[in-house]
Structure 1
Amino acid sequence: MEIDEILGDSKSVALPTKSAIYVWGYNQRGQTGRTEKDQKLRIPRQLPPELFGCTAGISTRWLDVACGREHTAAVASDGSLFTWGANDFGQLGDGTEESRKSPEKVKVLESEIVKSVSCGANCTAAIAAPRENDGTTSTGRLWVWGQNQGSDYPRLFWGAFMPNTVIRQVSCGSVHVMALSEDGLLQSWGYNECGQLGRGFTCEGLQGARVLNAYAKYLDEPPELVKITQISCGEYHTAAISETGDVYTWGLGNMGQLGHCSLQSEDKELIPRRVVALDGIHVTTVACGGVHTCAVTEKGALYAWGSGQVGQLGLGPQTSSASFIFKDSQVMLRNIPALVIPRGVRLVACGHSHTLISTSDGRIHGWGYNSYGQAANEKSTYAWYPSPVDWCVGEVRKLAAGGGHSAVLTDACSLKELCEFRLAESITLKNAAHVEDVAFRTSSDALVRICGRLRELHGNDREWDP
């Protein structure tokens, strides 16, 4: 008898869910949170609950995970925020500049219920609500810390917004930050040498917060105010989605990362400009990498543009009529969005030079720079095309990609998935054949793939240490 027959419609059973965070890739600064000494951790592994101070066997749940250049942050279901990795600029929020290889709770935020977190190159920002609230305090307050944020501890930051404004989303770039209010307004602060703050000019030095109020929908018409629903910061560029599903980009565009045929200010766009190549396509998610950008449509199609020098566009190593050679070098770029995957994409995350997606069939794929294994299972320096990442079980809720490492948050939302979690934690080479047989008969595809990968890695005489 199959598991589904025993349990019935397990999806309809109201059960506490369990979550897992898988981290892998470059680990020189401890950003994976794993104890292995190798600096290249190619296989995604689940971080054990004990690492976060939880009792063994206790079901843990996670709400969010984010990767910076060399640090990582995760939000637990009780509203606690954990950080680990590099801390040269105080981005871990513990008041020091000492790096850590193991997660620790951000104590300053223990009085807050953290909802989401964003990691920039060397800074961190979180949205939280006070645990004790009489109804007069915002339920979406912004806290910032690290490089250019004025503190090694989290500090409450309203910027150009009125106090008690509800913050919907925050995104951190290399040296700039964008915050989105519940009303669809954007404010920006940080450095602006490349126009990444969207103010219509460039300038040197650290800039204070200011609300954006000019969006170029058409070049032959005056800029207007647009309501924004989602944002993403790249290294020196920014992208946003309007309530109508249009994509706007601005900042540095020298590698085609803005998606425009031509630029209005040398190699930059100084105010948000609509990507006209996506006219008629309703975009729901946008993600910015170092010098590339990706967008997912409401129909699950994935578009990418910008530099493809190390494969981060997923379009292969060859040039085509839509590709351009930059200044007689071999740097491939596309300044017009190209269709990479026509359907089925649910989530996307862009790291500095790699990309991750999850699809409607529950699988994870990645491509781009892969020297540390951050983009794909295959052992190659570059993954030119979408390649599988097959070591995770559960329903993918969040993807995160950093400078050279990656993270995935998955949930077990049914009894069947809870069983998959338990089996995945106990697979060895000795029991892999039996587990694979059970997994195959119960349509547990993720477990089948893990068993297959295990045999590929270890042959027939070595045991896998999960």
Structure 2
Amino acid sequence: METRSRLEFCLHSWGANSYGQLGQGHVEDQAAPRRADTAALQSRAVRTVCGGGGHSVVITDSGEVFVCGQNHRGQLGLGHNTDIATLQLCPVLNQRITHTACGWDFTLLLTDGGQLLACGSNAFGQLGVVQKVMHSADLLVIESLKEPVVGVAAGLRHALAVTDSGCTYQWGTGLFSHAKRALSPHPVPPHLSSKVPSRVPGLDQRTARLVAAGSVHCVCLTGDGDLFLWGSNKHGQLTTTECFLSSATVLRRSLLDGEKIINVWCGWTHTIAQTESGRVFTWGRGDYGQLGRQTSTSWDPEQQSAGPGTEGGSQEVCLPAEVKALREATQITCGSEHNLAIVGGCLLSWGWNEHGMCGDGSQADVFHPQPVPGLKPLLIGCGAGHSMALCPTSTGSRQNPAPTPLE
């Protein structure tokens, strides 16, 4: 009986840990997976793991929320501003949480009733609330979203939401300065300067299904498999010659061999999309290995030159290309500039690795998806510079003993 009451899974974490975001009871970076302290979870089954700039959020099947890491802006929603190095239960106003999205220093929580809660920094209006607060350690309700929310995404200093009717909203001024420079002397559209949810233009006749956010770019996937992009294109993450797109613009399906898209993810400066046949395409910034493939720009004869500084009538743009090692991936998640995926039950990682978030024991960037030894994960999640994987207790338990605080 005693063994049945014990945890049937373990949470491994690795990478940046300056604020205790790995949940291991200390603040030392870890270049290889190590078990987090999951004592607070007891026997609860886990639904989602997610991370922000320096914090982590775990949601259980019963809708409870556990948090750890950086808390200087109240992004853990605990009612105080003290960092926490092990997972702690977050009071969620007696509501059941189904999903979360973490920005740099703020957190969004979606309830099973479609209500959106927010905590953390509001310096750029990223909490989407009418209250005039710079930050909040208590969960606030985003009251201006009148219909149920079904999807949410958090960028660096902005956020996106999809409602039950398929409408897309944006708030937070994180893209404002980029838009102002690119669009001058024309005014910045309301959805890029609003501190409360504002409808995104270009999607009025479309039914949105999910959204994703980079540091300063946005993505929306519609129910019919089309992908719309807007925001900064500094690193080619919008596949256009324009330096900035203020309204949602559709990605030509011909760039993905005509296939419908079924899922999409964003790092800070790159985008990953999976098509209906299971193929995975990447584009955007790749100098740290974020794209999981050799990086190069490609000339698109259908793309007309429009960017500043263009010469000769055409400009090279970053186009989607397939990463064959990721075909049939069942899960993919992006940190700021690194990624995790589950393919064939194996955990793969690639990208920026300065803090060891690729889990290979080194700090060398990883340019092609590679296995993370010893882990067979059920769930994966990324923060900006850290990684998490929920695994059965029989996987890696001997190689990764339970953590003890480091001196």
| TM-score, structure 1 normalization | 0.72
Q: Which residues in structure 2 correspond to 1:153-168 (within 5 Å)?
A: 153-159=138-144, 161-162=145-146, 165-168=147-150
Quote the residue 2:65 is aligned against.
81
Task: Say if 2:269 and 2:284, in contact at 8 Å, map to a contact too.
Answer: yes
Task: Say if 1:376 and 1:383, in contact at 8 Å, map to a contact too.
Answer: no
Q: CA deviation at 1:201?
A: 3.2
Q: CA deviation at 1:22?
A: 2.2
Q: CA deviation at 1:322?
A: 6.3
Give 1:285's match in structure 2, choosing from 244, 263, 286: 263
Q: Which residues in structure 2 correspond to 1:87-126 (within 5 Å)?
A: 87-107=71-91, 109-126=92-109
Secondary structure class of the residue paired with 1:244: coil
Q: CA deviation at 1:158?
A: 3.1
Separation of aligned partners in 1, 2:103 and 2:151: 14
Give 2:22's match in structure 1, choosing from 27, 32, 55: 32
Whichever residue aligns with residue 232 of structure 2, its letter is L
1:207 correspondence with 2:195: yes
Task: Say if 1:305 and 1:334, in contact at 8 Å, map to a contact too.
Answer: no
Whichever residue aligns with residue 345 of structure 1, its letter is A
Quote the residue 1:49 is aligned against.
38
Which sits farther off after the overlay, 372-381 or 240-249?
A: 372-381
Separation of aligned partners in 2, 1:358 and 1:308: 21
Separation of aligned partners in 2, 1:247 and 1:28: 36
In structure 1, stretches of 5+ residues that fail to align are 1-15, 130-138, 216-223, 328-332, 413-420, 429-453, 455-463
Per-residue deviation, residues 191-245 of structure 1 (Å, max 9, x unmatched): 141359xxx9357865322122423xxxxxxxx5211111101101111111111
Q: CA deviation at 1:293?
A: 0.8
Which sits farther off after the overlay, 175-184 or 377-386?
A: 377-386
Q: Which residues in structure 2 correspond to 1:186-335 (within 5 Å)?
A: 186-191=168-173, 192-193=175-176, 194-195=178-179, 201-202=188-189, 207-215=195-203, 224-260=204-240, 262-263=241-242, 267-276=243-252, 277-278=255-256, 280-316=258-294, 319=296, 335=318
- Structure 2 vs 1, CA of residues 297 and 401 (structure 1 numbering), >3 Å: closer, same or farther? same
Separation of aligned partners in 2, 1:334 and 1:48: 45
Q: Which residues in structure 2 correspond to 1:335-354 (within 5 Å)?
A: 335-341=318-324, 343-354=327-338
Separation of aligned partners in 1, 2:115 and 2:35: 30
Whichever residue aligns with residue 151 of structure 2, its letter is Q
Larger Rg: 1
Separation of aligned partners in 2, 1:309 and 1:182: 38
Quote the residue 2:137 is aligned against.
152
Task: Say if 1:296 and 1:346, in contact at 8 Å, map to a contact too.
Answer: no
Separation of aligned partners in 1, 2:70 and 2:282: 30
Q: Which residues in structure 2 correspond to 1:403-442 (within 5 Å)?
A: 403-410=384-391, 421-422=393-394, 424-425=396-397, 427=398
Separation of aligned partners in 1, 2:21 and 2:322: 32
Q: CA deviation at 1:343?
A: 2.2
Whichever residue aligns with residue 154 of structure 1, its letter is L
Percent identity among equivalent residues? Answer: 24
Whichever residue aligns with residue 234 of structure 1, its letter is G
- Structure 2 vs 1, CA of residues 319 and 86 (structure 1 numbering), >3 Å: closer, same or farther? same
1:172 correspondence with 2:150: no
| TM-score, structure 2 normalization | 0.81
- Structure 2 vs 1, CA of residues 36 and 393 (structure 1 numbering), >3 Å: closer, same or farther? farther
Which structure is higher in RCO with an 8 Å CA cutoff and minimum separation 6?
2
How many residues align structurally?
362
Task: Say if 1:26 and 1:40, in contact at 8 Å, map to a contact too.
Answer: yes
Quote the residue 2:164 is aligned against.
182
Secondary structure class of the residue paired with 1:208: coil
Separation of aligned partners in 1, 2:264 and 2:364: 26
- Structure 2 vs 1, CA of residues 299 and 88 (structure 1 numbering), >3 Å: closer, same or farther? same
Separation of aligned partners in 2, 1:183 and 1:320: 38
Separation of aligned partners in 2, 1:205 and 1:147: 17
- Structure 2 vs 1, CA of residues 212 and 102 (structure 1 numbering), >3 Å: closer, same or farther? same
Which sits farther off after the overlay, 377-386 or 139-148?
A: 377-386
| RMSD of equivalent CA atoms | 2.7
In structure 2, stretches of 5+ residues that fail to align are 1-5, 128-132, 181-186, 301-307, 310-315
Secondary structure class of the residue paired with 2:197: strand
